[in-house]
Chains A and B, each alone.
Chain A
Amino acid sequence: QKEVEQNSGPLSVPEGAIASLNCTYSDRGSQSFFWYRQYSGKSPELIMSIYSNGDKEDGRFTAQLNKASQYVSLLIRDSQPSDSATYLCAVVTGSARQLTFGSGTQLTVLP
């Protein structure tokens, strides 16, 4: 069974703080990992993709991947109220590039 698990949340952080979102996956052969942001009632939008062990930074966002531990995380620095959304971890789990999603973590950034 291929699974992707996220810390359940909800997560609340004050404006300007660092938000840390975590995800583990069960398929050791997985190679591609994504973080999506989803606002209520909307389709997911891609925040970060990561394929190699280590850190990948893009603006206020940093994705971290540890394939040995089967762990991927997302850090959001200087969190803003507009970052309040549900964050979905996704892993490519098939040769056709279908995604398996985690359950999502609802983040609220308090002004």
Chain B
Amino acid sequence: GAVVSQHPSRVICKSGTSVKIECRSLDFQATTMFWYRQFPKQSLMLMATSNEGSKATYEQGVEKDKFLINHASLTLSTLTVTSAHPEDSSFYICSAPGTFGNTIYFGEGSWLTVV
């Protein structure tokens, strides 16, 4: 079946550096992908909607200059956390709507730790 693959699954970076997380749709095309963030013991919060070939749509309160989203192809969206700080440490999850019906596929998630 359709799969969304997310990489890396875990990453540790130093404060002030940038880190990129990739989200790929493996056997279907995704013109739209979604990026969520989940802090410990909290629910998933939508950060932004990634649109192939156009600018991402960010949710209120999410800094677009800090969380750069690029959706350059129909199968790949990337989230770059720039100038990371310890408070950015979180579980980041991408998802993509399937081609048919109301199916929504989730990536495996990426644990980011900023030290």
Contact = CB atoms under 8 A, between A and B. Distances in A.
B49 interface: yes
Contacts of A68: none
Interface residues of A, number: 22
Contact of B104 (A51, A88, A97, A100): A97
Interface of A: 32, 34, 41-46, 49, 51, 88, 92, 94, 96-104
Interface of B: 6, 32, 34, 36, 42-46, 49, 91, 93, 95, 97, 102, 104, 106-109, 111
24 contacts: A34-B104, A41-B91, A42-B108, A43-B93, A43-B109, A44-B44, A45-B106, A88-B43, A94-B49, A96-B32, A96-B34, A96-B49, A96-B97, A97-B97, A97-B102, A97-B104, A98-B34, A99-B44, A99-B46, A99-B95, A100-B46, A101-B36, A101-B45, A102-B43
